[in-house]
Amino acid sequence: MNKEDIRQYGYDLGADVVGFAAIEDYKSEKSPDPKTLLPGVKSLIVLGYREIDGALDSNNDRISLASRMGAMDISKANNYRISRFIENKCKVKAASVTFSYPLDMTPPTMGLVGDISLRHAAVAAGLGVFGRHNLVINPTFGSRLIYTAILTELQMVSDPPVTEDLCNDCNLCVKKCPAGALDEEGKTDMMKCLRVSQPSGIGGMIGYLRKFIGATPEEQKALLMDPRFLSLYQASFIGFQYQCFNCIAVCPVGRENRAGSKKKGKKKA
C-alpha cells in the first residue's frame, strides 16, 4: 500500500487535505520525541478538516463551537479508522493523535503542549506555512482547518513543502485578538488566549469553586442559578468550549472560491 492509497482513503472519509511527513522532517522544540509515543515511528500522516464558513462568520459563539465540535468528532473517528486500516492492511503499528485533547495535564506543561504539535506536523507534511497568528495557513483553505495526525511505522517520504509565503501581513489577527495574545510576533501568549477563548475551562471552574466555597448559604443558592455556573456545568460534559475564533475568522487567505480544492477521485460532500 502506498501513500496515494491512504490519501484517497482519507478523502473518502471526508478529510479536506491529507499530507505525509517522514518523521525526521517533523521539528517541534516543545513537544516530546515521537518515539516516546510509538517507538518504531517512521512517518506522520496529517489530515485537515475545514471549519464551516457560516459558523465562523456567525456572531453567536455557540454556532461557531458547534462547527468545531463536528470537525473534532469526525476527525477522531477517522483517525481510528485510518489507523486500523493501516494495521490491517500493512501489518505495522499506527497510533492516533487527535485535535485538542486528551492532553498531558501534569507539570510542567499543564496541558499547554501536545504530544505532537499538529501545526508543525501540518507544515512538515506540506499542508501549509505559519502565519502571523502562529497558525498554519493552507494554500486553499487558509487558516480554516483543524488538523489531526497518525503516527505509523510505515516508511514514507514527506510531501513537497509549501514554499509560498501565504500570510499577507494584514495584521488583522493581531488587531482583532481580544486578549492581546498575539502582540509579540512569533509568540502566542497561551494564558491570555485561554482566558478569553476558554473562559469555561479548568481555570474558570477553579475560580468559581473558590468563590462558592467561601460564600454564605444564601449566596451559594444564588451562585447555583448564576448563568456563569450553568455555562461551567455545560462545559463539564461538552468538553473544551471555545468561545473565540477571531484569529481564524478574520484571516482573509483562502476565503475565495475553492472550486479547485477537490482532489482527483475525492468524493464531494
Q: Is the model more confident about 223 or about 239?
A: 223
Q: Is 205 exposed, middle or buried (0-12, 13-18, 19+ CB in 10 A)?
A: middle
Q: What's the pLDDT tens digit per position in 128-181?
A: 999 999 999 999 999 999 999 999 999 999 999 999 999 999 999 999 999 999
For residue 16, pLDDT over 70 is answered with yes
The Cα–Cα gap between 120 and 118 comes to 6
What is the pLDDT at residue 102?
79
CA 251 to chain centre: 16
Q: Is 78 exposed, middle or buried (0-12, 13-18, 19+ CB in 10 A)?
A: buried
Q: In the predicted model, what is the mean pLDDT of the chain? A: 89
Q: Is the model more confident about 264 or about 130?
A: 130
> What Rg, from alpha-carbon coordinates, does the chain have?
20
The pTM of the full predicted model, rounded to 2 decimals, is: 0.87
CA 83 to chain centre: 19
CB 22 within 8 A of CB 130: no
- Which helix (H) or strand (E) segment holds residue 65: the answer is helix 61-90
